[in-house]
Chains A and B, each alone.
Chain A
Amino acid sequence: MGASISLDFITHKFSASAEPTLKDIENRIEPGELVALIGRSGCGKSTLLHMMAGLLIPSDGCVRINSHLVTKPSAKWNMMFQKASLYPWMNVKENAALGLLFDGMPKAEAGERVDALLDMVGLHDKKDVNVQSLSGGQQQRVALARSLATEPEVLLLDEPFSALDAFTRTQLQEEVPNICRERGITMVIVTHDIDEAIAMADRVLIMSQNPGRIVGELVVDLPWPRRHMDSGFQTMRDELMQQFKGTDTGLAGRNAADPDQSEISQSAA
């Protein structure tokens, strides 16, 4: 089952003298909720996601998953990256089963467990091949199976589809939220793509730059599966675009510290 994530007043500086990269981030993500995080390049989206995964500890504040303080990575809150980063000395099945192996499960049992997952992500005929012979999309599917194998409560996605062709991307944008909804997994996806945010999330968080803050949010109450052609989709898309422009602080980070902004945009939503 999914877990709640609470971001408690996170402020982060990469070095003591630097300006904070993230400032006063506060939010609560409900169990099973699908959340998209959008913002300009370099605003700190990946940094925030790494914190949720326990790969980075904020210099101030904390992340709690089910009220459990996140201090280190765990297979229960799992992150998928832009690159699949599969291990070329293992075949598809071994790659997918790796998290289970780390958890101490015997190899044979782990193999059986990932069998069904690989079927589900559409790799039933590729289980024993060398991962280097897979296409980018297929590799990302293996990474997805690898993340799901450990039955995570939280799935964190850092622009996982941005290197894929449009067709595969659209497919995965539909499949991943389906899987998460089926299994009640809480999902957070970082993206540059407004369409992707609308297609995959129940709620979109908008981040500003310099310092990175959450300055707006939009609840997407569209029915599943999301269709890009639906008028509701288009309306949401325009609304999000509007809000994003309204909160955008541009490159120089002017008005960045204006605390009213988030209220304005929230009431607009």
Chain B
Amino acid sequence: MNTSNTQTMTVTSVMPNMSQVFGWLKSLQYPAMGITGLLLLWWFGGFMIENDPDLSAFAAFAPAPTFSALVDLIASGEVWQPIGSSLYRILSGLVWGIAIGVPVGVTVGYFGLALKVANVPFQFLRMISPLAWMPIAVLAFQSWDSAIIFLIVMATVWPIIFSTAHGVRRIDPNWFKVARNLGASGFQMLRRIILPAIMTDVMAGIRLAVGVAWVVLVPAEYLGVTSGLGYAINDARDTLSYDSLAAVVIVIGVIGYGLDTICSVLIKRFNWHME
């Protein structure tokens, strides 16, 4: 959380002066300590594996081979293609998740009856791992790509629906009364009052959705497809190149972190609450 805050600050502030730079460095000290700790643990794990005769075949998992594989991946430009495929899938799934989740969430939140009817089935469906839909997805869709996007949609709709509905229920009833009083039509009420009022909640739902979707995407790409980061991991395992496997894991983590940061910036952008 803290690091994402500081990143927003530096992005938005034009021409930081010396004290700002200093403050920025200072606020980075704790995340830096955390990352160093993680690297130490990793290095220690690699060291243990290397010295264990049973496991020494996996020594390439250690930091040094991994980072050199990562540099190779980036230098050769090989990383971009799987990243592109994975991002394409997650964004398509997210677009569908938003297109379905927001209208359903608004309906469910706005009409009390709809919430009562939908609550149990929604809670039930939400608890099913998106990956459990895989066999059905494969039957229902022609291409593996569409099947995976379907799984992402199944992962993203629920957080978006719940968060949207929650946002609608929290709207101050006086806002509806005042708008009706000023002659708002149903569409104007939606466009000028409801949607801006729930924007923060919708973005919070999207952030949750992105997190779940990114976690689901990688195992989904183990199946069928021949592109994407999940496939890259599987492929590296089959060719016993554990150093590039670990490098892909790092790429996955970094991109996931980046996606989450983008979401938190957007949440701030759409947040109308004053500090």
Interface residues of A (CB under 8 A from B): 53, 55, 73-75, 78-79, 81, 83, 85, 87-90, 98-99, 101-103, 130, 132-133, 146, 150
Interface class of chain B by DSSP: helix
Is B31's beta carbon under 8 Å from chain A?
no
Query: Would you call B177 and A81 a contact (CB within 8 A)?
Result: yes
Complex: A88 Cα to B200 Cα, angstroms: 12
Complex: A87 Cα to B177 Cα, angstroms: 12
- CB-nearest residue of chain A to B273: A88
Within 8 A of A (CB), among B24-80: none
Query: Would you call B177 and A102 a contact (CB within 8 A)?
Result: no
Query: Would you call B182 and A150 a contact (CB within 8 A)?
Result: yes
Within 8 A of A (CB), among B145-204: 172, 174-175, 177-185, 188, 192-193, 196-197, 199
Complex: A260 Cα to B176 Cα, angstroms: 41
Complex: A55 Cα to B182 Cα, angstroms: 11
Complex: A83 Cα to B181 Cα, angstroms: 14
Query: Would you call B178 and A81 a contact (CB within 8 A)?
Result: yes
B-chain residues with CB within 8 Å of residue A55 when the two chains form the complex: 177, 180-181
Complex: A146 Cα to B192 Cα, angstroms: 15
Is B272's beta carbon under 8 Å from chain A?
yes
Task: Find B181's partner among A53, A89, A132 (CB 8 Å cutoff).
Answer: A53
Query: Would you call A98 and B177 a contact (CB within 8 A)?
Result: no
A-chain residues with CB within 8 Å of residue B185 when the two chains form the complex: 102
Query: Would you call A83 and B274 a contact (CB within 8 A)?
Result: no
| Interface hub of B180, B181, B192, B272 (most chain A Cβ within 10 A) | B181
Given contacts A81-B177, A102-B188, contact A88 B183 (CB under 8 A): no
| Interface hub of B183, B192, B274 (most chain A Cβ within 10 A) | B183
Complex: A87 Cα to B180 Cα, angstroms: 14
Query: Would you call A75 and B182 a contact (CB within 8 A)?
Result: yes
CB distance from A134 to the nearest CB of B (A): 11
Query: Would you call B274 and A102 a contact (CB within 8 A)?
Result: no
Given contacts A55-B177, A83-B174, A130-B274, contact A89 B182 (CB under 8 A): no
A85-B177, A132-B274 given; 16 more Cβ-contact pairs under 8 Å: A53-B181, A55-B180, A73-B181, A73-B182, A75-B183, A78-B181, A81-B177, A83-B174, A87-B193, A87-B197, A89-B272, A98-B179, A99-B183, A102-B184, A102-B188, A103-B183
- CB-nearest residue of chain A to B200: A89
Please count the residue pairs between chain A and chain B whose beta carbons lie under 8 angstroms apart in the complex: 58
A-chain residues with CB within 8 Å of residue B182 when the two chains form the complex: 73, 75, 78, 98-99, 102, 146, 150
Complex: A79 Cα to B196 Cα, angstroms: 23
A-chain residues with CB within 8 Å of residue B184 when the two chains form the complex: 102
Task: Find B196's partner among A75, A78, A87, A102 (CB 8 Å cutoff).
Answer: A87
Query: Would you call B192 and A85 a contact (CB within 8 A)?
Result: no
- CB-nearest residue of chain A to B180: A73
5 nearest CB pairs, A to B:
A89-B272, A99-B182, A75-B183, A85-B174, A132-B274
Query: Would you call B181 and A98 a contact (CB within 8 A)?
Result: no
Q: Scan B134-151; emit 1 where CB is below 8 A from any A CB, else 0.
A: 000000000000000000
Complex: A9 Cα to B174 Cα, angstroms: 28
Complex: A75 Cα to B197 Cα, angstroms: 22
Complex: A133 Cα to B177 Cα, angstroms: 23
B-chain residues with CB within 8 Å of residue A103 when the two chains form the complex: 183
CB distance from B192 to the nearest CB of A (A): 7
List 18 A-B residue pairs with CB atoms under 8 Å apart, sorted by A's residue number: A53-B181, A55-B180, A73-B181, A73-B183, A75-B181, A75-B182, A79-B181, A81-B177, A85-B178, A87-B193, A87-B196, A89-B199, A99-B182, A102-B188, A103-B183, A146-B182, A150-B182, A150-B183
Query: Would you call A98 and B192 a contact (CB within 8 A)?
Result: yes
- CB-nearest residue of chain A to B274: A132
Query: Would you call A89 and B274 a contact (CB within 8 A)?
Result: no
B-chain residues with CB within 8 Å of residue A102 when the two chains form the complex: 179, 182-185, 188, 192
Query: Would you call A74 and B183 a contact (CB within 8 A)?
Result: yes
- CB-nearest residue of chain A to B178: A85
Complex: A133 Cα to B183 Cα, angstroms: 27
| Interface hub of A73, A78, A90, A146 (most chain B Cβ within 10 A) | A73
